[in-house]
Structure 1
Amino acid sequence: MSSERLFRPVKKAKNFLFLACLLFFISSVFGRTHYLISEQQALAQDSIERIVAKEVAKLMKLPGYTAFSGVIYIKGTARQFHYGKLSNGKKPNGNTVYEIGSITKTYTGLLLAQAVNDHKIKLDDDVRNYLDGKYPNLVLSNGKPITFRHLITHTSGLPLVMNCDEKGQTTAEQAVCFDHFKEADFFKALKTIKPIDNSGNYHYSGVGIQLVRYILEHVYQLSFQELFKKYVFSRSGEQQTFSELKYGQNSNISLGKNSDGVPVPLINGFYKYAGGMKSSTNSMLNYMRMYLESNDKVVKQAMDRLAGSMQYGRAYAWNTYDYDKKKKMLYHNGSSFGHSSWIALYPNQKVGIFIVTNVVTADSQGKLNELSNSIIDSIISGSS
């Protein structure tokens, strides 16, 4: 009975007409809505591209800047940008490998967070407990020992470098020294060095990060390459980040230049875990995504503020800014003999930026800092 009532010819025609009109209306509205959404997305992408192109154009007009690469991650979406030409005449791309300089230190910071999480060490342990021999010089002015917290936040007072830094040494001579540097050379110098500033205040130190590296290798009984693979790359999925690489080993490697436009050697050897990593924008995208999207407790721990004020602080090698604010930032710059780089993370907005160029000038670090701030401020304010 009910089926007959449903399919009587008159009602069928009326229902069909009604449904046809309804579907046409729905498809018109939602089709238009879909078009508007797609149009808005396209405009947003164009807007980001315009913002980046405008800001990068200012940089590329300056002397010495001939190539630039960058990647921006915004809430699950990534945009890469490549401008100019490399020293070989080719345009850079997502596979171009650049030196990332002291951004390397943030990788070491993540490994230290892993060691703390694994109870291999304690953050406030006396580092001398992990060293062979006696180091009475590794103390602060109040007699308290230098700890891992001091080393990773640059408050140990140890110098920027203490090896391969002879007065009058050329870049080429320094690079050769790096290549022939041995671990024994480091600890021989460490026994005689005195903290430059033993007050416990901030004093940027590559030596402190190198010391963390040697201790981590010892407590895990693994090389740093093995530690990177096991505890960093397994999380980030990076495939184009290298601790040591020489020209000729990779066709994608960028040739860096100094401020005079003269090609310079890559940094390898002793400094490679404090400032010698090489990476591409493809890999750095994965590195940023790990920090911004991962719920891994070690990754989150690596972003914890360990020292300094809420406005200007330090995490596990990361610098922090406005840590207690909605737009808090973690950042680090990088410089080698011939490359300048910058990375910044905005965890609350799930936004990250990495930018790099194949030249080092007196103010290239500051220029990349300003460029990053201008781009992110425009993007975040435009999306809010």
Structure 2
Amino acid sequence: MKNHVGLFATVLLIAAGAPAVVSAADADAELAAQVDRLAQPYADSGTVVGMSVGVRKGDQSVVRGYGRFSADDARAPDGKTVYEIGSVSKVFTSLLLADAVANNRVSLVTPVDELLPAGVVMKRRDAALPIRLWHLATHTSGLPRLPDNLDPSDPNNPYADYDGRRLAAFLVTNQPRKKPGEEMAYSNFGAGLLGELLAQEQKTSYAALLESQVAAPLGLTDTRIKLSDDQQARLAPPHLDGGPKGHTWDLNKLAGAGGIRSTTDDMLRFAGAQLHPPEGKLGQAIDLAWQVHQKPIAEADFAMGLGWHVARDGDTRWHNGQTGGYHAAVFVSRKHDAAAVVLTNTATGEVDQLAEQLVRMLAGASEKPRKFDKRVVVAPETMERYVGKYQIQPGAVFTVAVEGDQLMVGLTGQQMLPVYPRSDTKWFYKVVDAELTFKVDRAGRCNTLELFQNGVRQTAKRIE
């Protein structure tokens, strides 16, 4: 997840005389043109395969689609295209907590221990300090980012087999590193646990709780964990950064951390509810989740509502998320009555900058389209020279393959990842700060592969 350190340092609204009278259609067309100007370069540059963008400003709303439904399908995505929203799911999970509080089923300070199944007892860093529900919603629980017994049978779907048995086993053996409230440390496990506890409290599943308490009341007809046949047909196929095929994720017992699928139409409707909460308990819950519940502890921290990160302007709430083939970003500003939603079927955090730009544009700032570096293209026959296995140390082997027009590299025990060319021989990862150099002899054969990472160079020799 990115740290948006400078976010909203200067958001300006400038009044310059009496506004001209324009029709609603003209205003929508102008807003759409502004969105296109900022969003289209992401598709034109190949940064995303497909992307749906929605913005809302007052009574105006615009949804636009860019790129392709998939690398193999030239249809343009739209507001009804389904995407995985990853960690944006945490906002929904925390809203379920706020809803449970509004309906007097739990309180923010309810100890987690009280909702655990019989026989499951968590260890504490301090015997007098239990983890409370609000700690899970503000990443201050002291729980790790991920459990140490994740151990997926399929690394491309890492959460799918993390069931209730594994979750309980981790809870009873985990020794917290920090006391609750001592540190802000992002925890997928904590958010997933929160969703599961809230579902168990109501003797239902997380998927059913999400639908009954949030999706149905707000009219979010495509916001689900499990998709219908129609929704599955509208799910944009996943891609890794750079375009290779990615993988959908199923989060099982940790669904509250990132298991939701949705559309831009639904997410823009959800953002509208944050701007103007409905009457009743759900509206009270939205307002409760919007409030600041945790101030920054370290200098780099963001303040937090329940689930929401609070931007540096003190007003805008945001969250982003990424899975094995998707990325999502949602920004909402009550001060400017504005919201921006960006969903893509490409696992790239680059679109976070677009979401920021869009909400600043809606606030009145002048935003310039992003300029992307010209992509280096390497001939297929050149990439084929590198295909093989390279041993960097005993038991650690790089596997190099070509998938379509993409060079893929995997290290023993890790998934294959795309690398990108700086030249014919120098390639880099986007997911980590590392570079690979293929050493080619005069005959055009590659015999060694050099890894440069963390200031250290290591050589791997071809073994196949």
TM-score interval, smaller chain:
0.7 to 0.9
Equivalence for 1:234: 216
- Among 21, 40, 60, the alignment partner of 1:57 is 40
CA deviations over 1:286-327 (Å, ceiling 9, x no partner):
211211122421221121111024993111111112475xxx
Larger helix proportion, structure 1 or 2? Answer: 1
1:69 Cα deviation (Å)?
0.7
Contact 1:98 / 1:279 at 8 angstroms: preserved in 2? yes
CA distance in 1, matches of 2:220, 2:126: 42
Contact 1:55 / 1:375 at 8 angstroms: preserved in 2? yes
Q: Tell me, which stretches of 5 or more residues in structure 2 are unaligned?
A: 1-19, 367-464
Contact 1:160 / 1:204 at 8 angstroms: preserved in 2? yes
Contact 2:48 / 2:243 at 8 angstroms: preserved in 1? no
CA deviations over 1:100-156 (Å, ceiling 9, x no partner):
00111111111100111222222112211222235342x345851111111110011
- Opposite residue 302 of structure 2, the aligned amino acid is Y
Equivalence for 1:200: 182
- Opposite residue 244 of structure 2, the aligned amino acid is V
Q: TM-score, normalised by structure 1?
A: 0.79
Contact 1:74 / 1:350 at 8 angstroms: preserved in 2? yes
CA distance in 2, matches of 1:299, 1:121: 16
- The reply on whether 1:122 has 2:103 as its aligned counterpart is no
Equivalence for 1:283: 266
CA distance in 1, matches of 2:200, 2:150: 26
Question: After the TM superposition, which residues 293-308 of structure 1 pair with which residues of structure 2 at under 5 Å, given as runs?
Answer: 293-295=276-278, 296-308=283-295
- The reply on whether 1:317 has 2:307 as its aligned counterpart is yes
CA deviations over 1:253-286 (Å, ceiling 9, x no partner):
1111112533222111233221011111111122
Distance 1:62 1:271, change over 3 A: farther
Distance 1:195 1:258, change over 3 A: farther
1:38 Cα deviation (Å)?
3.0
Contact 2:85 / 2:326 at 8 angstroms: preserved in 1? yes
- The reply on whether 1:348 has 2:318 as its aligned counterpart is no
- Among 232, 248, 267, the alignment partner of 1:266 is 248
- The reply on whether 1:92 has 2:73 as its aligned counterpart is no
- Opposite residue 135 of structure 1, the aligned amino acid is V
Question: After the TM superposition, which residues 161-176 of structure 1 pair with which residues of structure 2 at under 5 Å, given as runs?
Answer: 161-162=146-147, 165-166=150-151, 172-175=154-157
Equivalence for 1:17: none
Distance 1:129 1:75, change over 3 A: same
Q: Which is greater in Rg?
A: 1
CA distance in 2, matches of 1:45, 1:212: 40
CA distance in 1, matches of 2:261, 2:325: 12
- Opposite residue 67 of structure 1, the aligned amino acid is G
| Count of matched residue pairs | 335
Contact 1:163 / 1:186 at 8 angstroms: preserved in 2? no
* Higher RCO structure, 1 or 2 (CA under 8 Å, sep 6+): 1
Question: After the TM superposition, which residues 1-384 of structure 1 pair with which residues of structure 2 at under 5 Å, given as runs?
Answer: 37-38=21-22, 41=24, 44-87=27-70, 88-131=73-116, 132-137=118-123, 139-140=124-125, 143-162=128-147, 165-166=150-151, 172-175=154-157, 178-198=159-179, 200-245=182-227, 250-268=232-250, 269-295=252-278, 296-309=283-296, 312-322=302-312, 324=314, 328-360=315-347, 364-365=348-349, 367-381=350-364
Contact 2:225 / 2:261 at 8 angstroms: preserved in 1? yes
- Opposite residue 378 of structure 1, the aligned amino acid is M
Q: Which stretch shifts more, 209-218 or 308-317?
A: 308-317
Distance 1:64 1:164, change over 3 A: farther
Contact 1:342 / 1:368 at 8 angstroms: preserved in 2? yes
CA distance in 2, matches of 1:67, 1:115: 37
1:247 Cα deviation (Å)?
8.7
Question: 1:273 is paired with a residue of what secondary structure?
Answer: helix
Question: 1:146 is paired with a residue of what secondary structure?
Answer: coil
Q: Tell me, which stretches of 5 or more residues in structure 1 are unaligned?
A: 1-35
Give the % identical residues. Answer: 22
CA distance in 2, matches of 1:290, 1:353: 13
Contact 1:100 / 1:275 at 8 angstroms: preserved in 2? yes
Contact 1:164 / 1:174 at 8 angstroms: preserved in 2? no
Distance 1:98 1:249, change over 3 A: closer
CA deviations over 1:13-66 (Å, ceiling 9, x no partner):
xxxxxxxxxxxxxxxxxxxxxxx6235x55543442232222223323444422
Question: 1:115 is paired with a residue of what secondary structure?
Answer: helix
CA distance in 1, matches of 2:313, 2:38: 26
Equivalence for 1:4: none
CA distance in 1, matches of 2:345, 2:121: 40
1:241 Cα deviation (Å)?
1.1
CA distance in 2, matches of 1:188, 1:346: 41
1:182 Cα deviation (Å)?
1.9
Contact 1:126 / 1:148 at 8 angstroms: preserved in 2? yes
